[in-house]
A and B are shown apart, each in its own frame.
Chain A
Amino acid sequence: MPLKRKDLLGIEPLSVEEINLILNTAKAFKEVSTRDVKKVPTLRGKTIINLFFEPSTRTRTSFEIAGKRLSADILNISASTSSVVKGETLVDTARNLEAMYPDIIIIRHSRAGAPHLLANICRASVINAGDGAHEHPTQALLDAFTIKEYKKQIKGLKVAIIGDILHSRVARSNIHLLTKLGAEVRIAGPATYIPVEIEKLGVKVYHHIDAAFEGCDVVMMLRIQRERQDKSYLPSLREYFNLFGLTPERLRRATKDVIIMHPGPLNRGVEISSEAADGPYSVILEQVTNGVAVRMAVLYLLMGGKYEEVVS
C-alpha cells in the first residue's frame, strides 16, 4: 500500500490506516540504521530540500540523515543564509526553489499554515517539520513509534502531556495521533498554557501534575520557553518547576513501567530534573533514534513507495 497524498502537513487529516502504514514502514526501515553500510538506493535521483526558517538540531539532522540513508540528494537552507534576510517572501522563495525541480520540500516555519501555503504552490511534496503552534507530524509519528516499541500498542494507554500546550505543535500533533489510535490523553499545565476548548480534541485537562500522572503509562514533557514569551503566562521558572517539573518522586504515581518522553531540547531544571531525564524511565534518546526511521518512512511513502516492497 502506498500513501495516497502529495504532502504531509499534519496528523489531523491522516486516517488510522495511514498512520499505521507509516509506523509499520518505519519499523522496516529502522534496521537500515543498524547496518554497517547505512544506505539503501531507494530514493536515488530524488532531490530533497530542507527549508528551515527556525533553528533546529534534531529535526533537520534527522531528515538529512533519513534522506541520505535513502540515497536522495538532500540540501539544507536556513533562513539566516537565504534570501529571506533580503526580504524575499515565502511564496517567492518557494517558486524559486520549485523552478529547480525538487521532489520534496521539508519546511519548518514559525507561522502556522506556512507549509500549507507552500503545498498550494509547489508540485513537490511538502513535509511540515513544525509550523508555529500548529503541527509537527513527524515528531508525533516518532513518538508513537517509540511508545509502540515499549508498550506494544497504543490503544488503552494513559498518556500525560505536560507543559505549555498553548504554544506547542508537538502537543497538538500528539493529541491528534494518540486519540486516533485510542489512547486516553491527559494534558496538564498552568491554566494560562491551556488553549480554549482543547477538550473538544478529546483530551482531559488537569491543573495538578500528580492527578495527571495517576496510573499513567507514558509521560511527555514539553519545553517551556518563557524567555521568548509575553511574561504574563508564568510568574517564574522556579514556580513552574515546583508545580509542574518532572522529578522521580512525582513519577511514583504513574505505572511501574512508565516511560518518559521529551521532544527536546531539554531545559534541565525547568520542566524536567536531570534525575528524571537521565534515569531508567527515560526514552528520550530512543525517540531521536526512531526519528530517522520514521522520517525515512515518510520520505519513502510520499515518493510513492509501497510498504510491501520495503518488507520484502
Chain B
Amino acid sequence: MKKLLVKKGRVIDPANNLDEHLDLLIADGKIAQVGKQLEDKEAQIIDAQGLIVAPGFIDMHCHLREPGREDEETIESGCRAAAAGGFTSVACMPNTEPPNDSQSVTEFILKQAAEKGIVNVFPIGAATKGLLGEELAEIGELKETGIVAVSDDGNPIYNGNLMRKALEYTGMFDLPVIDHCEDRELSAHGVMNEGYYSTLLGLPGIPAAAEEIMVARNIILTALTKGQLHIAHISTKGSVELLKWAKAQVLRITAEVTPHHFTLTDKEVCSYDTNTKMNPPLRSTEDVDAILQGIKDGTIDAIATDHAPHRRDEKNVEYADAPFGIIGLETAVPLALGLVNRGVISISRMIAMFTINPASILKIERGTLSPGAVADMTLLNLSERVKIDVNSFQSKSRNSPFHGWELKGRAIITIVGGKVVWSAKHII
C-alpha cells in the first residue's frame, strides 16, 4: 500500500491534547509518524497547508436502510455520503428490514460494507428480537459477529423491566444500550414539538416531557444496574438537566445531539415542509439554548446525524402523514462548524465530539491520530464557503431542510485506513 505524507496541516487530535502544525506519515494504513518536517521519498504528498487535520469523523447514529429499503439508501450510497461529508466511520442502526437482530443480518451488513462501502461500518444490533421490545435479542452472538452497541432505534425499550435486563445483560459484553427516549402515550399522535407553534399550526404536539420521562427512567435504571446507557438525539432542556445530574452521580451515561436539534427550532414547521419533521421533533428556542449550553459545558458528548433517508414522494404528503426523519451525513460537518464560527465551542471540542468521544462510547479503536492508530483522517477547510445543494448529495435521498443554506467550512479530504476515499468533489 502506498505511503501518504500529509504536510503542513494544523493537526488537532483532542485525544492527545494536540493542536500543532505538524506532518503525518501514513504507512500500511496506519499512522507511522507524527512530527515536524517529515520527509519520505516514496510517499504521496498531500499538501494540507491551511487545512485542519483531524482524526476521522465518526457518525455514531445513522440509517443505511440496507437490507430492506434500498430505494432510500444502500450501504454503498450511505458510505459515499458519509465520505463526502467527512466521515470515516458510521454506526448504523438496526431498523432495517429484516431488523439487525441476528448474526446473519450483521454478517450481511459487514459483507456489503467490506465489498462496497468506502468508509468503516460498525453495525448496531437490536436490543430486542424484531425491535419489538418483548425479549432480548441474542446479544452475545451479535457482539461476536461485530456489533458495537445495541438499540431498538426508533422504538424506545418500553418495558422498564426489559430495559433493566438489557442494561444488565449488555454489561457482560461491554456494550452500550442506546435508547430513543420517548413515552409513546405522551407523544400520542404528535408530529411536532408541543408548544406555541403546534398551537398556532393546529398540529398534534409531542411534549418535551415525553422524552424527559424516559431519560429519567433510563438514568434511574442505569443507577440500578450499573449498565452503560447512551441517550440518542437529546432534544430538550429538561433532558440536558437530567443528564447533567446523572453525570454528577458518576453513572455511565452519555448522550449525542444532532445538528438539526442545535440549529433549528420548531418555528421552521410553519412552512409545513415535511423536511422539518423528525423524531424527536425540532424544539423551542429555550430547548435549543439549553442544548447549546450542554454542548459547551461538555454535558453532551457527541454529535451524531440520525441520517434518515426517505424517498421524495414519501415526504411529499400531508405533514401528519409524512415519515419522521431527515438526512444529515453531508450537512453535519458544516453545521457543526457553525458552532465554532459562532463561538459556542472551540474547533478542538467540536472535533472531539465527532472523534474520540463516540469512539470511546462505542469502544472502537478509532478517533485519534496517535502513532500506530488506524489512519482514518478528516481534513477540514474552515474558510470555504459552502452552499448546500441536495441535488449534489451522494446519498440516494434528498430529504434535508438545509437545501440552499450558505455555511462556512467543510470536510474536503476523507482518508480511510490510509487511503484517500474522498477529495473535494470526486472520489478517488
Contacts and interface: CB of A to CB of B under 8 A. Distances in A.
B133 interface: no
Contacts of B40: none
Contacts of B321: 111
B198 A111 contact: no
A113 B272 contact: yes
A113 B196 contact: no
Nearest to A92: B313
A2 B321 CA distance: 36
A112 B203 contact: yes
Interface in B184-239: 188, 194-196, 198-205, 207
B320 interface: yes
A131 B201 CA distance: 10
B316 interface: yes
B195 A196 contact: yes
Contact of A196 (B198, B316, B317, B318): B198
B199 A196 contact: yes
B199 A117 contact: no
Interface of B: 188, 194-196, 198-205, 207, 271-272, 313, 316-321
Interface residues on A, range: 20 to 34
Interface of A: 12, 89-91, 109, 111-114, 116-117, 131-135, 169, 172, 195-198, 200-201, 230
A112 B200 contact: no
Contact of B198 (A90, A91, A195, A201): A195
A133 B194 CA distance: 14
A196 B194 contact: yes
A201 B195 CA distance: 12
- Which of A112, A169, A200 has most chain B Cβ within 10 Å? A112
Q: Choose among B194, B201, B316 the residue with the greatest number of A CB atoms under 10 Å from its CB.
A: B201
Contacts of B203: 112-113, 132-134
Contacts of A90: 317-318
Contacts of A133: 202-204
B199 A114 contact: no
Contacts of A135: 202
Contacts of A113: 201, 203, 272, 318-320
Contacts of B195: 196-197
A198 B199 CA distance: 7
Contacts of B316: 89, 91, 117
B202 A201 contact: no
Contacts of B200: 12, 172, 201
Contacts of B313: 89, 91
Given A111-B319, A200-B196, 15 more contacts: A111-B320, A112-B320, A113-B203, A113-B272, A113-B319, A113-B320, A114-B318, A117-B316, A117-B318, A133-B203, A172-B202, A196-B195, A196-B196, A196-B205, A198-B199
